[in-house]
Amino acid sequence: MTENEDRHPEDGLIAAVEAGDLAFVQELLGKLSVDDQRRLISRCSPDEHVALLALLPADQSAYLLGNLAEPQAVEILEDVPSATAASIIHELPEEVGGDFLREMSVDESSAIVAALPDDEQTALMERMSYARDTAGGLMSGDFLSYREGTLLAAVLEGLSEMEDSSSVDVQYIYVTDANGILTGVLRLRDLVTKRRSRAVEEIMLRDPRSVDVRKTLEELEDIFDATPYLGLPVVDESGRMVGVLSRDEVEEALAEHQTDSFLKASGIVSGEELRSMTLGTRCYRRLCWLAPNIILNLIAASVIAAYEETLQAVIALAMFLPIVSDMSGCSGNQAVAVSIRELTLGILKPIDYLRVVIKEGLLGLVNGVVLGIVLGCVAALWKGNLMLGLVIGVALAANTLLSVLLGGLVPLFLKRFKVDPALASGPILTTCTDMCGFFLVLNLATLAMDSLV
């Protein structure tokens, strides 16, 4: 590999893909870490993605896409022919392939599923019927189960034949009846210490702990917090075993959920954004948040316009307006974060508004007085005007109290009306905090005008 290719491996990759040099492409990708592969793929164009996946064997393409961020992998799969995408989905774990298909348009996913074998079509369609953040959406379809009546010798023989298999977790072995209903679980210790002529139902642990396929992510978090198990069997409404859910999958889903909430709170409201996405997609996703904020900011600015004469008479107020609104906004955002966290943990519900008012009201009163005294003293000493300090200090104290009350309550009301608190709490709080902060400072200044000028 040349020095230039070391600095810019995408150049070497693109040239090799265009030349159809599969050996060089495989060698280059093999030398890169997973992170470097992601970085390399992110710098390729959509046409180059298509050419690369057409050149690579399906299993290597699946490995490559399986390590990418889901939105990027889905975008690439939508660009390749349905037959190529189907061959890649075939190589992916069922849960990963199902997640990719679930995020595609109906037409794209239908075309890909139609190109798969009949048995895979059935499994994937069933997988896609489950909501993403449920036990059915997170479970793995690869697990070990044996019918009642199977001898331990047959189980051990089956395990020995799995020497080269890495897709199935052998932490647990399950037992089902003739209808697939979960009836027990085998411990590996019992499996190797009991006579091989015995049947599995003779040594299995009966009535094993399981989770319903419809359990939500929040419910699953509570279940795994209360149990030491690394995984649990997933059963449908009839008790038929359909998969296994690992603790790692739940923790990963929770981490993704927190990331999604952070993105929404930061203004990325239409799903995850990556810089490898098209310019139009990225502009749209950001403008969905920014455009409505113009209206909200104009509403806040209208308060300043209403007190234009006061602001012109006491120009020093202009220096403290953004400080009052920003300090109050920070206090309110802290209350928002605590409310959203408690809602997520299930220890707070929309009906608990009175508790929030009491807890946040006391905290806001204390913090507001402290912050008001500090900023009021700064204003009075800086401008040599005690009344100015009093106006700024009282305004900050009152606005801090109001902002923490709003910050604590707004997520509860949004949750009550089934609106995502992480998405809408920020703009509402910012607008109200700015409006009230401007109003308090300017209105108090108007009342005390004779002492300020």
* Domain end residue (candidates: 104, 129, 154): 129
* Domain end residue (candidates: 129, 164, 191): 129
Residue 416: which domain range? 287-452
CA distance 365 to 8: 57
Residues 337 and 437 in one domain: yes
Block residue for tokens 């020497």: 163
Question: What residue type is assigned to position 57 of the chain?
Answer: P
The tokens for 311 are 């602001």
Q: Is 280 contained in some domain?
A: no
The tokens for 202 are 């003779």
- Per-residue pLDDT tens over the stretch 236-283: 989 999 989 989 888 888 877 766 666 565 555 555 666 666 777 777
Residues 313 and 433 in one domain: yes
Residues 446 and 311 in one domain: yes
* Domain end residue (candidates: 232, 265, 298): 265
Q: Is 35 contained in some domain?
A: yes
Residues 234 and 346 in one domain: no
Here the CATH number for the domain that contains residue 407 is 1.10.357.20
Rg (CA), the chain: 30
Residues 349 and 378 in one domain: yes
Per-residue pLDDT of the chain (453 residues; tens, 9 = 90+): 444 444 466 678 888 888 888 999 898 888 888 888 888 888 888 888 899 999 999 999 999 998 888 888 888 998 899 999 999 999 998 888 888 888 888 888 889 998 888 888 888 888 888 888 899 888 888 888 899 999 999 888 888 777 655 555 667 889 999 899 999 998 888 888 888 889 999 999 888 899 999 999 888 988 988 888 888 999 998 999 998 998 988 888 887 776 666 656 555 555 566 666 677 777 776 777 667 778 877 887 888 888 888 888 788 888 899 899 999 989 998 998 888 888 876 788 889 999 999 999 999 999 999 999 999 999 999 888 999 999 999 999 999 999 999 999 999 998 888 777 776 787 788 888 988 999 999 999 999 888 886
Provide the whole-model pTM: 0.59
Residues 291 and 440 in one domain: yes
Q: Is 104 contained in some domain?
A: yes
Residues 194 and 229 in one domain: yes
The tokens for 403 are 């902002």
Residues 238 and 167 in one domain: yes
Other C-beta atoms closer than 10 Å to the C-beta of 318 total 12
Q: Which residues of 107-125 are buried (b: 16+ CB within 10 A; e: fewer)?
A: ebbebbbebbeeebeebbe
Total count of domains within the chain: 3
Q: Is 116 contained in some domain?
A: yes
Here the CATH number for the domain that contains residue 169 is 3.10.580.10
Contact 316, 387 (CB under 8 A): no
Contact 48, 25 (CB under 8 A): no
The mean pLDDT of the chain is 85
Here the CATH number for the domain that contains residue 122 is 1.25.60.10
Residues 97 and 215 in one domain: no
Residues 108 and 149 in one domain: no
Residues 256 and 291 in one domain: no
Q: Is 188 contained in some domain?
A: yes
Q: Is 135 contained in some domain?
A: no
Q: What is the 3-state secondary structure (H, E, C) of the chain?
A: CCHHHHHCHHHHHHHHHHHCCHHHHHHHHHHCCHHHHHHHHHCCCHHHHHHHHHHCCHHHHHHHHHCCCHHHHHHHHHHCCHHHHHHHHHHCCHHHHHHHHHHCCHHHHHHHHHCCCHHHHHHHHHHHCCCCCEHHHHCECCCEEEECCCEHHHHHHHHHCCCCCCCCCCCCEEEECCCCEEEEEECHHHHHHCCCCCEHHHHCEECCCCEECCCEHHHHHHHHHHCCCCEEEEECCCCEEEEEEEHHHHHHHHHHHHHHHHHHHCCCCCCCCCCCCCHHHHHHHHHHHHHHHHHHHHHHHHHHHHCHHHHHHCCCHHHHHHHHHHHHHHHHHHHHHHHHHHHHHCCCCHHHHHHHHHHHHHHHHHHHHHHHHHHHHHHHHHHCCHHHHHHHHHHHHHHHHHHHHHHHHHHHHHHHCCCCHHHHHHHHHHHHHHHHHHHHHHHHHHHCHHHHC
Residues 125 and 188 in one domain: no
- Per-residue pLDDT tens over the stretch 9-30: 667 888 888 888 899 989 888 8
The vertex-405 CA angle with 393 and 435, nearest 5°, equals 60
CA pseudo-torsion sign 154, 159, 163, 167? positive
